Amino acid sequence: MQRRAWQELRLIALPYHDGLAGVDRGRGPTRLLAVADSSGVLAALERRASVEIVDPVDPADPEAARVFELSRRLARHVRAAVSDGAPQLLRSSTGSRSLQP
């Protein structure tokens, strides 16, 4: 079902550093979402907000493989949000992935 853009804000989190979950800078997106939720910021928005966490990759894979696979997975989330007409806000631990479409 396609939603109209004004109905939902899609929050996409990529909590990884060098392709590893929840380490170093990778803790940032998860912590920011937790604070936003516990402080009531998400509930106070004038629109519905959904949170999506990009699935982790195999930590046994080489670093470059992990990073590229996470970029592919992130692109799928963004494409789906665009297709649904939902504006997206991306929170990544890496600046190269923080570009908005």
- DSSP for residue 91: E
For 21-37, what is each residue's pLDDT tens digit? 888 888 888 888 888 88
Give per-residue pLDDT as tens, 44-76: 887 788 889 999 999 999 999 999 999 899 999
Which residues contact residue 78 at a Cβ distance below 8 angstroms, ignoring those fewer than 6 apart? 12, 88, 90, 101
What's the CA gap between 77 and 86, in Å, rounded? 11
How far is it, in rounded angstroms, from Cα 31 to Cα 12? 13
pLDDT in tens, 74-88: 999 989 988 988 887
